[in-house]
Amino acid sequence: MEESPWEKGNKERKKRKEQEEALKKQGWQSSADLAYRLAHKYQRSGANLAEHMAKLIERVLAEQPADYRAQHLVELGIKRMKLIVSPDLAAKIEEVIEKKSRP
């Protein structure tokens, strides 16, 4: 019997969720979670940081070797809309925000 589109979609969602949970256990975090954590730490607008997080990620990745992206950034979800960043990439993003927050 052939799988219905609904069942197939549920399996795909479950697989993405399991992959995300495994990464989070290793210290990875979503770009949205990172934005709000850093906003709280540096007293900046969480919505503003979340809106510009993709640009910050691209800025940091542009300064790294070509293979760094594949090792430190995972795109999940339909149309790869959810970004999961490694602890190392999160630290580099935090450095950029910290430099901007200094008077």
Per-residue pLDDT of 24-63, as tens digits, reads 999 999 998 998 888 888 887 767 787 888 889 999 999 9
Report residue 75 as tokens: 């795109």
Predicted confidence (pLDDT) at residue 22 exceeds the cutoff of 70: yes
Tally of domains in the chain:
1
- Is the entire prediction scored with pTM above 0.85? no
Say which residues have a Cβ less than 8 Å from residue 85's Cβ, sequence separation at least 6. Answer: 28, 29, 30, 31, 34, 57, 72, 73, 93
- Mean pLDDT, residues 65-83: 85
Q: Which domain holds residue 60?
A: 5-101
pLDDT at 85 over 70: yes
